[in-house]
């Protein structure tokens, strides 16, 4: 194998890696082709289901927040999906504001880009914008939000130095040329899209263009690529849970590309993740759709339109207060309270705050589907 780049010896006593422009030469052995076929089939099914669901937008919001939590957890944030959703609903949460802000920034970044009237291209300007949003707040204050680095950085354990680092990306001077090549390759349609995406992700992490937050930006770019390149109609597939569950394999496969040119192992790992997570998303979306349909049919039998509208509101965020219900329905507080109580009697909602005032309710059955761990194969270690 030929490494896809070159190691450069710096006069200050360390060496850094400069990746070659994409695409590389890849040996398309049958096993890799089979994985690509299965990943394509799964993500095609997910795209189809996303278009057929009666209210796909109801799934997008909680799915985006799940990815935000999983991606931030890789970087050390401790906020859970339930805590994020509860905080957004106005409930008191026993979690540091910094952790919640870090996760919330991820949500803002996705919604900012995909909420625009015209879908943007993935450019270096967009990458800087994503970094600025993600790194807003105390955790990112020293990471030069929205600016590519102008000093050498490195990857390694705590207290490591550039001389003891496990990986040193390109110098600031060579990094600029690498980034321009990366942007050029984003719109290259000469490869299967999922293979192209896997290569772009490796290349971005190898360039490591920011002082901090490269992992979060790189994972966010996966989500955006799938939607902006029309692979999925909306952000329904996320790989952060897979990367987190197989963290050692993730880092090892990336490093093997730089060290030995082993693209095959990285592509197999990435495509297996797409296959697994697309299947998980299909399963999760189907169960949520069935649950919402059952609740909707029960609400329809009551003949009260407010109940149905409230169920759609709960689908976006399982946590609810009467005040938010009243605002959403455009009715008086007491009218909203009666609607909430009807859903509680049918076990759609459960009071979870334990207080007599400003009560918080939760659609626990829906939250359980959203929060459960991903369905990973028992022999995953052998597969990746």
Reference 324, options 49, 34, 90, 149; nearest CA is: 90
Maximal CA-CA distance, the chain: 77
> Which whole number is the average pLDDT over 178-190?
95
Which residues, in sequence order, are CB contacts of 252 under 8 Å at separation 6+? none
The Cα–Cα gap between 184 and 6 comes to: 20
The pLDDT score that the predictor gives to residue 141 is: 64
Reference 189, options 200, 204, 203, 178; nearest CA is: 200
Q: E strands, the chain, where?
A: 5-10, 14-19, 319-321, 350-351, 360-362
> Which whole number is the average pLDDT over 304-327?
90
Mean pLDDT score of the chain: 91
Structure tokens at 90: 């106005």
The Cα–Cα gap between 37 and 58 comes to: 29
> Which whole number is the average pLDDT over 310-315?
90
> Which whole number is the average pLDDT over 274-301?
91
> In this structure, which topology does domain 304-371 adopt according to CATH?
Arc Repressor Mutant, subunit A (1.10.10)
pLDDT in tens, 200-254: 999 999 999 999 999 999 999 999 999 999 999 999 998 999 999 999 999 999 9
> Which whole number is the average pLDDT over 264-275?
96
Whether residue 138 has pLDDT greater than 60: no
* 28 three-state secondary structure: coil
> Which whole number is the average pLDDT over 329-348?
92
Whether residue 173 has pLDDT greater than 70: yes
Q: Domain locations in the chain? A: 5-283, 304-371
The pLDDT score that the predictor gives to residue 337 is: 92
Does 53 or 110 have the greater pLDDT score? 110
For residues 244-259, one letter each, b for 16 or more C-beta atoms within 10 angstroms of the residue's C-beta and e for the rest, the string is ebbeebbebbbbbbbe
The pLDDT score that the predictor gives to residue 353 is: 82
- The H-assigned helical ranges of 141-246 are 172-186, 193-207, 214-228, 240-245
Whether residue 75 has pLDDT greater than 90: no
Residue range 5-283, CATH number: 1.10.3290.10
The pLDDT score that the predictor gives to residue 359 is: 87
Percent residues over pLDDT 90 in the chain: 66
The Cα–Cα gap between 146 and 255 comes to: 26
Total number of residues shown for the chain: 384
Reference 238, options 370, 84, 100, 380; nearest CA is: 370
Predicted model pTM: 0.92
pLDDT in tens, 80-121: 899 899 888 888 888 888 888 888 999 999 999 999 999 899
The pLDDT score that the predictor gives to residue 72 is: 87
Most confident stretch, 142-156, 172-186, 335-349: 172-186
Q: How confident is the model at residue 140 (pLDDT cuts 50, 70, 90)?
A: low
The Cα–Cα gap between 23 and 77 comes to: 34
The pLDDT score that the predictor gives to residue 238 is: 87
The percent helix, strand, coil of the chain (3-state, each to 5) is 60, 5, 35
> Which whole number is the average pLDDT over 171-180?
97
């Amino acid at each position: 194998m030929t490494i896809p780049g070159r190691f450069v010896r710096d006069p200050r006593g360390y060496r850094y890696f400069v990746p070659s422009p994409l695409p590389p030469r890849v040996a398309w052995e049958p096993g890799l082709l089979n994985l690509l076929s299965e990943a394509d089939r799964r993500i095609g099914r997910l795209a189809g289901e996303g278009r057929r669901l009666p209210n796909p937008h109801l799934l997008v919001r909680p799915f985006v927040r799940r990815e935000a939590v999983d991606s931030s957890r890789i970087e050390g944030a401790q906020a859970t999906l339930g805590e994020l959703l509860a905080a957004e609903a106005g409930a008191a949460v026993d979690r540091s504001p910094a952790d919640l802000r870090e996760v919330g920034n991820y949500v803002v970044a996705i919604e900012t880009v995909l909420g625009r009237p015209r879908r943007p291209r993935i450019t270096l300007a967009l990458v800087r914008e994503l970094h600025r949003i993600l790194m807003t707040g105390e955790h990112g204050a020293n990471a030069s939000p929205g600016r590519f680095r102008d000093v050498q950085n490195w990857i390694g354990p705590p207290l490591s130095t550039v001389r003891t680092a496990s990986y040193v990306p390109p110098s600031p001077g060579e990094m600029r040329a690498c980034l321009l090549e990366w942007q050029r390759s984003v719109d290259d349609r000469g490869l299967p899209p999922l293979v192209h995406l896997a290569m772009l992700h490796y290349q971005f992490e190898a360039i490591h263009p920011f002082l901090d937050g490269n992992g979060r930006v790189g994972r966010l770019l996966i989500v955006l690529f799938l939607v902006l390149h029309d692979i999925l109609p909306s952000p329904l597939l996320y790989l952060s849970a897979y990367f987190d569950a197989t963290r050692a394999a993730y880092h090892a496969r990336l490093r093997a590309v730089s060290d030995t040119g082993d693209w095959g192992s990285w592509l197999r790992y990435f495509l297996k993740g797409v296959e697994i997570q697309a299947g998980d998303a299909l399963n999760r979306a189907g169960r949520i759709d069935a649950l919402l349909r059952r609740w909707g049919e029960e609400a329809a039998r009551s003949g009260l339109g407010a109940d149905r509208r409230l169920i759609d509101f709960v689908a976006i965020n399982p946590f609810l207060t009467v005040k938010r219900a009243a605002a959403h329905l455009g009715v008086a507080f007491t009218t909203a309270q009666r609607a909430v109580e009807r859903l509680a009697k049918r076990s759609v909602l459960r009071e979870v705050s334990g207080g007599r005032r400003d009560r918080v309710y939760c659609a626990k059955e829906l939250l359980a589907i959203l929060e459960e761990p991903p369905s990973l194969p028992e022999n995953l270690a052998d597969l990746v």
